Amino acid sequence: MKPNETLLNTLLIDEDTLVFTDDEIGDEHISTSVDTPMRADAFEMNDEEKIAQIEYHFRQIMETLGLDLTDDSLKGTPKRVAKMYVKEIFSGLDPKNMPKIALFENKYQYNEMLVEKDISFYSNCEHHFVPIIGKAHVSYIANGKVIGLSKLNRIVQHFAKRPQVQERLTMQIAKELQKILQTQDVAVMIDAKHLCVASRGVKDDTSSTITSFYGGKFQEEATRAEFLKYIG
C-alpha cells in the first residue's frame, strides 16, 4: 500500500455503517473497541527482541527527519526510546506486568464506600502517540473482600501504560476491579488533558476530558451523589 493512500475504516452504529478516514478517527478520537487491539502473536518476541526492533526502526525515523545520529546527544536516542516504550510507558500491554493482587477478608465489616481519589497517571493517545496526563478517582463497596489501597493506584497505572483512548481506559480499570473484587459496585472517573488536543490539531490547552463508569449500587442516584461529593 502506498504511504499516501487513504485508508477507510467502518464503525457500526444503530445498524448504519459510518465510514471514517484514518485522519478523522484520529482527529475525532474515535475508539473502535473496549479491549486494547492486540495481534495474536503480540508476545512471541521477548522484551529484548522488541527493544532491538524498535531501536532499528526509530533510528530510521530520526534519519528520515534529517537528524545527525553521530551527534553525542542523539546517537543513544533510538535505544533509549525503545527501552522506554517496552519497559516503561507501554509496559501495560504485557499481561505479565499486571500487578499481583491479594484479597483480604473484610474483618472490620466495613460495608460503606471506599474512595481513592486523585490517582495521577500518564498514558499515551493511541491516535498520535502523545501523552494523556490525568487523575483517576476509584471507588468500591466491599463484598466480603478488600484489597490494599496501593493496588488501586497500580491497577490504574497498569492500564494507563499502553496506547489508549480515555473511554477504554475508564472501562478497563472498572471491569478489572469488578473481576478482582467480585462485585459490581465499582465507580471510576477520569479527568485528563490530551496533548493531541493541546499541542496539535485544535491546539486547545485549557480543556480537559472527563469520563466515568458506574456499576452496581453506583447506578443509584444517592450512591453516585455520595461518590461525587467525596471526589469534590
The structure's pTM equals 0.85
**In the predicted model, what is the mean pLDDT of residues 90-111?**
91
Residue 150 exposed, middle or buried by CB count within 10 Å (0-12, 13-18, 19+): exposed
pLDDT bracket for residue 111 (50, 70, 90): confident
- Among 29, 55, 126, 137, the active-site one is 126
In-domain check, residue 1: no
Question: Looking at the structure, do residues 54 and 135 belong to the same domain, yes or no?
Answer: no
Catalytic residue status for 29: no
**In the predicted model, what is the mean pLDDT of residues 115-128?**
96
Catalytic residue status for 137: no
- Among 127, 137, 157, 172, the active-site one is 127
Q: What are phi and psi of 17, to 5 degrees?
A: -90, 120
Using the predicted structure, report yes or no on whether residue 32 has a pLDDT greater than 70.
no
C-alpha distances out from residue 192 to 26, 37, 88, 133, Å = 17, 22, 20, 5
If you average pLDDT over every residue of the chain, what do you get?
88
CB 132 within 8 A of CB 124: yes
- Do the strands 113-125 and 163-164 form a parallel or antiparallel pair, or are they unpaired? parallel
- Among 29, 55, 158, 166, the active-site one is 166
Catalytic residue status for 196: yes
Catalytic residue status for 166: yes
- Among 128, 157, 164, 176, the active-site one is 128
For 49-97, how does the pLDDT look when each residue is reduced to its tens digit (9 = 90+)?
999 999 999 999 999 999 999 999 999 999 999 999 999 999 999 999 9
Cα distance between residue 175 and residue 156, in whole Å = 11
Counted domains in the chain: 2
Catalytic residue status for 126: yes
CB 140 within 8 A of CB 147: no
Domain limits for position 124 = 97-231
Using the predicted structure, report yes or no on whether residue 143 has a pLDDT greater than 80.
yes
CATH of the domain at 189: 3.30.1130.10
Using the predicted structure, report yes or no on whether residue 13 has a pLDDT greater than 70.
no
**In the predicted model, what is the mean pLDDT of residues 213-219?**
98
Question: Looking at the structure, do residues 90 and 109 belong to the same domain, yes or no?
Answer: no
- Among 55, 172, 176, 196, the active-site one is 196
